Amino acid sequence: MPSKNLNKEKFLYADVILPLAVPKLLTYHYLPTLNLFTGQRVIVNVGKKKQFSAIIYKLHDQKPSYNTKPIIETLDNRPIVRNSQLELWNWISRYYMTSLGEVMIAALPNSLKIQSESKYLPASFNRDDREISLLKENEQLIVDALEKNNQMTLGEICDLLEISNPHKYIKNLIEKGLIKVYEEINEKFKIKTVNKIDLSRDLKEDENKLQGAFQQLSRAPKQEELLLVFLNISQQLNGKAVLQKKLLNSSRLSPAVLKGLIEKNILVRIKEEVGRIQSVKKEKDNLPDLSSYQETALNEINIFLNENKNVLLHGVTGSGKTELFIHLIQKQLEKGKKVLYLLPEIAITTQIIQRLQSYFGEIVGVYHSRFSSFERTELWHSLLDEKLHQFDIILGARSSVFLPFKNLGLIIVDEEHESSFKQFDPAPRYHARDVAAKLAQIHNSSLLLGSATPSLEMMQLVEENKIGYVELKKRYNEIPMPEIQCADLKVAYKKRKMKGIFSPLLVENMQQTLKLGKQIILFQNRRGYAPREMCMICSWTPMCKNCDVSLTVHKFDPILKCHYCGHTEKQTVNCGACGSNEVVMLGIGTQKIEEEIYEHFGEGIRVKRMDWDTTRKKSSFQEIIDQFEQKEIDILVGTQMVSKGLDFDHVGLVGVLQADDLLHYPDFRAYERCFQLLTQVSGRSGRKNERGKVILQSFDPHHWVIQKVMEYDFKSLYKHELADRRHFKYPPFYKMIRLTLLHKDSGNLFTASNFLANELRLHLNDRVLGPEFTIIPRIKNNYQQQIILKIEKELSLSKVKAHIRQILDIWSKREESKSVRVKIDVDPM
């Protein structure tokens, strides 16, 4: 309850964004003497005791209809989120039908999101041994541990009891007055500092005093020696302070000797802020030379950008799109503007970082999920005040769109067609390309999209003259596009000419390529050893206990693993149903390819895999790419990580093990994605000096999409697919919204989803499809049904969304719907 003095004070109010999926902003009050800003972090109470850091969204003097709580304290003396960012957050929240809290969770580095941690203490009470003796064993353990340790966190209690949910024991002890709980806020991010040693100011300014210090140390030879070492190192640094660690290592003297000099006020210790992000300082290269085709394309791009029009650069693989980007970046830097360079995969950033740094040096900053939370937070602060670093170019994955940009001149979205730009889970399920377009609009900056295989959505915008279009039809130095041949797996298996998983055509070309000292990339978009095991007697297949999928074989561990929930089991020897030992592995994963290479080409071949399993460490991408560039690897086996954006000099052959796998995925984008992926991976071959070769292995080599890939005929595929999309009411002609409903009980889910679909049909008619079970009906023990909405472009999408939200709000209050979760995906991929 508010205090009696509450009405005597004239309060102001703040609407705040909490890092929680709550539908509306909460309002808190504060005194006018507290100087607050929008975008600032403050600590507020949520519920009875829990505390969170919130972002101020709006300041005003309008009291809401409910009794407000006070803002407890400020965490920063300035905003950490700019007004332009709040505008972007608001747009994302509205467009993708998600809460501002969920946008905040996605946008901020973890170190900037703070919530209190529950700490448990022994209550100050007179110990009643009879009451203690009636406690359960786990309750007794908690009480004894608290008396010994004075306080414990929930995690420590879990570890003590070796269970994941000790709440019932804690609740009983609190009710009995034996323990108490309080909430403690811990600021996660701290500026990194180092200790440096310098001469005291008096000695610096007066040489006679320095001589006197040496006389003072005549009876302390070790301190005298340390002072001499310090002066020697400082002189090399032009009189600057010396790192304490370097001083002690160079002198080989103990910290106690240093302490003595500090106590005598001869030396002083100073703390200096340093960055966690390592800056690259090296001599910069001249900008790359452009061919006549590139010069023409650059001029065309500049014409569109000068007309304030977004541009799609459609350049074949190896045409030198990156060189154009570098020239455009330089032009922005000359204007004093900043640049955001978006890439879909962390693997690609590894190479591009080196290229950009060779031209622009230490002003290139990198931001993606493989960097630690503290490193990302440091980059965030650097963009706010440029105190530790000045980053004029940010290179990053999709989350980079949330950074606190100022004076943004150009946004480059490379490989714009890539589905990796789409955030699938959790909410907000945004597409970074589309968010980048909104970001460019907010900052009044230019947007350049680049791809060798543009998305149909972007090509339709070109047709409608909504964006500019520039085409690069030739590779750099006019090197021909790789020759693509297709191996017929059906015929090879029938004639028993296969060597394991390799067709005779692929084996022959691999042998020739290796003899010429060239490198090979083999592509298969499945990690692990084999997608599944199966008993040849009764067809039993090991399934995940949490999901309706077969377990993938990982032979080198050896385990069976679910790639959806992470569940693992030991690899089977005998059938789990009939006991037969005739259990075989079906399908091809990257581990199997690696094994068969050694089997057919000998142990002397140097093979490396690039997939999720081999690139979990921060530096893994860099190490593998460096080894491949330096020809320490003969054959690189990989998933789609190797298919896009990588640029290698010595790749003579690319092999695709099962090209038609991608054709049969039940998705309206299957043909488009198959063409894009096969064209992109083919483009890794023969990028420098001479023409490369590509071998596609397929059971259906005459499929029209495979034929279009072999002919590099994007425009025919584009026309064919757009005609189908228009006829069957798919994007880019219709907007799609997918509602996925989840529940552990399939019957409850069926009832709730059918009721929701019927309610939607009352208002949206045949625009509503479903409900139907998803391709995988159960994931992580939750059954899933989906409802698809197809909305004509002529309709007001914002009004349709408001209507959907209204129906969902009413539906969610029904008894059978309360426990059903709904995931909303606008523009699903």
The predicted-structure confidence for 99-142, as pLDDT tens digits, reads as follows 999 999 999 988 888 776 677 888 765 555 556 667 888 888 88
Whether residue 746 is predicted with pLDDT greater than 90 in this model: the reply is yes
Rounded to the nearest integer, the mean pLDDT of the chain is 88
| 8 Å CB contact between 434 and 259 | no
Hey, what are 460's tokens? 């339709």
Mean per-residue pLDDT, 216-223: 85
Residue 5 pLDDT exceeds 50: no
- Candidate from 483-487, 622-626, 786-790 with smallest mean pLDDT: 622-626
- How far apart are the C-alpha atoms of 447 and 799, rounded to whole Å? 28
Query: What integer pLDDT is reported at residue 128 of this predicted model?
Result: 57
Average of per-residue pLDDT across 617-640? 85
What is the arithmetic mean of pLDDT over 569-593?
89
Q: Return the pLDDT at 278.
A: 63
Using pLDDT thresholds of 50, 70 and 90, give the confidence band for residue 466: very high
Average pLDDT over residues 565-577: 88
Comparing CA positions, the residue from 476, 468, 409, 402 lying closest to residue 444 is 409
How does residue 301 score in pLDDT terms, banded at 50, 70 and 90? Answer: very high
Per-residue pLDDT at 797: 93
Eight-state DSSP code of residue 499: B
Rama region for 53: left / alpha / beta (φ>0; ψ in -120 to 50; rest): beta
What average pLDDT does range 295-312 have in this prediction? 94
Give me the mean pLDDT over the 25-42 stretch: 93
Read off the pTM.
0.84
- Of residues 319 and 736, more confidence is placed in 736
pLDDT of residue 213: 81
pLDDT-derived band at 68 (thresholds 50, 70, 90) equals very high
pLDDT band for position 154 (cuts 50, 70, 90): confident
Residue 3: its pLDDT value, please?
43
Q: Are 827 and 434 in contact (CB under 8 A)?
A: yes
pLDDT (0 to 100) of residue 16 = 96
Which runs of consecutive H residues, i.e. helices, occur in 487-570?
A: 489-494, 504-515
CA–CA gap between residue 517 and residue 520 (Å, rounded): 10
CB 27 within 8 A of CB 57: no
What φ, ψ does residue 391 adopt, rounded to 5°? -105, 110
Per the model's pLDDT, the better-predicted residue between 814 and 164 turns out to be 814
Give the DSSP H/E element, type plus range, for residue 339. strand 338-342
The proportion of the chain whose per-residue pLDDT surpasses 90, expressed as a percent, equals 51
Residue 4 pLDDT class (50, 70, 90 cuts) = very low
**For residue 34, is pLDDT > 50?**
yes
pLDDT at 152 (0 to 100): 84
Residues 6+ apart with CB under 8 A from 89: 17, 100, 103, 104, 107
pLDDT band at 7 (very low <50, low <70, confident <90, very high): very low
What percent of the chain shows pLDDT beyond 70?
Answer: 94
